[in-house]
Amino acid sequence: MPSSSFWATARQPQWITMLVLALVLATVFVVLSAWQFDQTRTEHSYAEDTETPVELTEIYEPERSISIAEADRIVNLRGEFVPETDVFVAERLQSGEDGYWAVAAFRVEGAPGEQVIPVVRGWTADYTEGVGPAPEGQMALQGRLLPTEAPGPGPRELPYPVLPTLSVAELINLWGEDAYSGFVVDFSEEAIAASSLEPVWVGPQPEGSDINWLNLFYAVEWVVFAGFAFYLWWRLVKDAHERRLEEERLDREWEEQWRAEQLEKHRQQDEHAEERT
């Protein structure tokens, strides 16, 4: 703990001025740290009303990624399934049971270039029994629009037509069709027809947030700078205090040496006076 003489040095005008400057700098650093902390979380704000159906062709065009405002919306779409495009996506849970999504290409009426969009028709525990192909003819569907999944990692180990993920990029290569970059999970049950598929329900995505670790690092860094401002002031005052103590010690030593020299001089003068007498 600093001594009272340390605080006597700290109360000198120049060090009080330096302390005020350190307080100003620390305040600025703390404000910057708070701002960086605010930037560490990137909130994902989804569309306020995802459950009111909208026309797919009115909110989303092919050949571009789905934005946050479009993803998770319930959409209406009209058209027909493309024959011989049925595939199955593995490892899809339904009521706690593992199974498959039945997916087929749906040519959207009114879409630019007659692009198709993958539609999840339903769920099955066994894709080899009673699923059947997608129904034929014009129909109207309604379902949730979701962004494409990434392609499955590693070499293909599942037998065709079973896929590890619902990747639009992979489906484009399989189908030879230009497609939207997202897919629709059908809620209308029109795509199930007379098959053994069960309807699939996908709820709206919950709001989430990501931590920006770089901003978090900067926030901590500004706090360190604020602490360093006070440490620098303390260090400067301590150095000044130690210099003053050293100067006082040297003054005392010089004074003691001068007194000793004067005493020795007087002693020698007294000895000489006694010798003359």
Residues 189 and 248 in one domain: no
How far is residue 188's CA from residue 135's CA, in Å, rounded to a whole number? 13
Give the model's pLDDT for residue 101. 96
Segment 185-228, tens digit of pLDDT: 999 999 987 788 999 999 877 654 566 777 778 888 888 988 88
- The residue out of 206, 221, 245 marking a domain boundary is 206
Q: Between 222 and 47, whose confidence is greater?
A: 222
Mean pLDDT throughout 59-80?
86
How far is residue 214's CA from residue 167's CA, in Å, rounded to a whole number? 31
Residue 186 lies inside a defined structural domain of this protein: yes
The answer to whether 175 and 85 are in contact (CB under 8 A) is yes
Model confidence at 45: pLDDT above 50: no
Residue 47 lies inside a defined structural domain of this protein: no
- The residue out of 163, 180, 206 marking a domain boundary is 206
How far is residue 181's CA from residue 194's CA, in Å, rounded to a whole number? 29
Amino acid at 92: R
Identify the domain containing residue 150 by its residue range: 54-206
Model confidence at 48: pLDDT above 90: no
Residues 70 and 24 in one domain: no
Residue 101 lies inside a defined structural domain of this protein: yes
Give the model's pLDDT for residue 44. 47
Model confidence at 154: pLDDT above 80: no
Residues 198 and 76 in one domain: yes
Residue 79 lies inside a defined structural domain of this protein: yes
For residue 238, count other CB atoms closer than 10 A to its CB. 14
Give the model's pLDDT for residue 157. 62
How far is residue 139's CA from residue 26's CA, in Å, rounded to a whole number? 67
Residue 183 lies inside a defined structural domain of this protein: yes
Residues 34 and 60 in one domain: no
Segment 218-265, tens digit of pLDDT: 888 888 988 888 888 888 888 888 888 888 788 788 888 888 888 878
Residues 131 and 255 in one domain: no
Model confidence at 59: pLDDT above 80: yes
Residues 31 and 147 in one domain: no
Residue 46 lies inside a defined structural domain of this protein: no
- The residue out of 161, 185, 206 marking a domain boundary is 206
Model confidence at 119: pLDDT above 50: yes
Q: Give the confidence band of 36 by pLDDT, cuts at 50, 70, 90.
A: confident
Residues 202 and 217 in one domain: no
Model confidence at 46: pLDDT above 70: no
List of residues 6+ apart from 245 with CB closer than 8 A: 5
Exposed, middle or buried by CB within 10 Å (0-12, 13-18, 19+), for 228? middle
Segment 85-113, tens digit of pLDDT: 999 999 999 999 999 999 999 999 999 88
Q: Are strands 41-44 and 54-55 parallel, antiparallel or unpaired?
A: unpaired
Residues 109 and 189 in one domain: yes
The model's pTM: 0.59
Number of domains in the chain: 2
The answer to whether 176 and 170 are in contact (CB under 8 A) is no
Residue 44 lies inside a defined structural domain of this protein: no
Residues 102 and 143 in one domain: yes
Own/partner long-range contacts of 94-100 (Cβ < 8 Å, ≥24 apart): 94/123, 94/125, 94/198, 94/200, 97/125, 98/125, 99/123, 99/124, 99/125, 99/126, 100/124, 100/125, 100/126, 100/127, 100/162
List of residues 6+ apart from 3 with CB closer than 8 A: none
Q: Give the confidence band of 138 by pLDDT, cuts at 50, 70, 90.
A: very high
DSSP 27-49: HHHHHHHHHHHHHTEEEEPPPS-
Torsion of CA 121, 125, 131, 136, to 10 degrees: 0
Residues 251 and 190 in one domain: no
Residue 277 lies inside a defined structural domain of this protein: no
Residues 170 and 92 in one domain: yes
- Kindly state the tokens that stand for 246: 């050293």
H or E stretch covering 141: strand 139-147
Residues 88 and 121 in one domain: yes
With CA atoms as reference, report the closest residue to 160 among 229, 90, 219, 105.
90
Give the model's pLDDT for residue 116. 95
